[in-house]
Amino acid sequence: MTVRTAPDIGSVQGILRLGNAYCEAQALLTAVELGLFTALHKAPGTERDVRDRLALDGRGLRDLLALLAGLGLLEEEGGRYRNSEGADRHLVSGMPGYVGGSLLGAKANLYPLWNGLTETLRTGRPQAEADGFDAMLGDPAELRRYVRMMEGALRPLVPELLKAVDWPAHRSVLDVGGCAGDLVGRLVADHPALTGHVFDLPQMKAPFDERMAALGLSGRTVFHAGDFFRDPLPRADVLVFGHVLHNWSPGRREILMRKAFEAVNPGGVLLVHDRMLTEGGAGGGADVDGLVASLIMALVTEEGSEYGVGELTALAEAAGFASTSCRPLAENETLVLCRKS
């Protein structure tokens, strides 16, 4: 895992810039929300072109474009703006590498909650509404936004997950909390002998069915509706916990690891990936990305937090897994493989 250090705070200017970093973040999030990078994908444009393409008033647009160029998201030449390579690859809607769904979900759902971090630290209570998740599940528009956010968070990880195990050696895979089935769909498409399963709440079945139909995989994937604390997990050769365990307390993580052990077929493997904390705490060289992710869990869940590889391997051993290994899955994501005899 790459550990990112905080900006230089050796001067008052550095401290003030860190305190106002939300401004630059909002510039990016707003550009994604407006569809600015998508509008510039086919052809560069002037400030006026962008205004007309996006039906904007124009006030502040010149500064926004210049700021995005200063941040390296746009390139400017002769008054015409084009996407930078990274922005064109990851911020254009419909492109394979698009992560805008995750950013838009953060803008709508996470960004407002950070203003309540002080209260969470004082009371221990999250800032998300107690019934907010249930309300989201019952609102089709919000459910679609949630699915897009989960898809955006998963998409950068898929290439490495496709190499995580020898998939042709297995016959079935179960993604627990697999939402619309993006990972399972990709695996089944690449490995026709593999049967894909997703276990998630009943409200996720409609998005799952829609996604599988769009991929032409309706007959090769199965959705299992349930609650993973209340219901048994379907058996499979490979089971995946992706961005699942950080939602829960250590005690509940232990329950889920034991249920996973029961569900994995002999000779199979459990894949766990999260933004796991770098061991060693918050001293010099602190794991900034992991600590931010852990604070998000405090803001949005009743008991969740990020955790270290050491905690997870101890839970895996206690559950009965024969061995574990870990490796980076992305710059700020860790994958742990728990193998069953």
Active-site residue numbers? 246
As a three-state string, the secondary structure of the chain is CCCCCCCCCCCHHHHHHHHCHHHHHHHHHHHHHHCHHHHCCCCCEEHHHHHHHHCCCCCCHHHHHHHHHHCCCEEEECCEEEECHHHHHHCCCCCCCCCHHHHHHHHHHHHHHHHHHHHHHHHCCCCCCCCHHHHHHCCHHHHHHHHHHHHHHHHHHHHHHCCCCCHHHCCEEEEECCCCCHHHHHHHHHCCCCEEEEEECHHHHHHHHHHHHHHCCCCCEEEEECCCCCCCCCCEEEEEEECCHHHCCHHHHHHHHHHHHHHEEEEEEEEEEECCECCCCCCCCCCHHHHHHHHHHHHHCCCCCCCEHHHHHHHHHHHCCCEEEEEEEECCEEEEEEECC
Contact (CB, 8 A) for 177 and 228: yes
Close Cβ partners of 102 (under 8 Å, ≥ 6 residues apart): 148, 149, 150, 151, 152, 153, 155
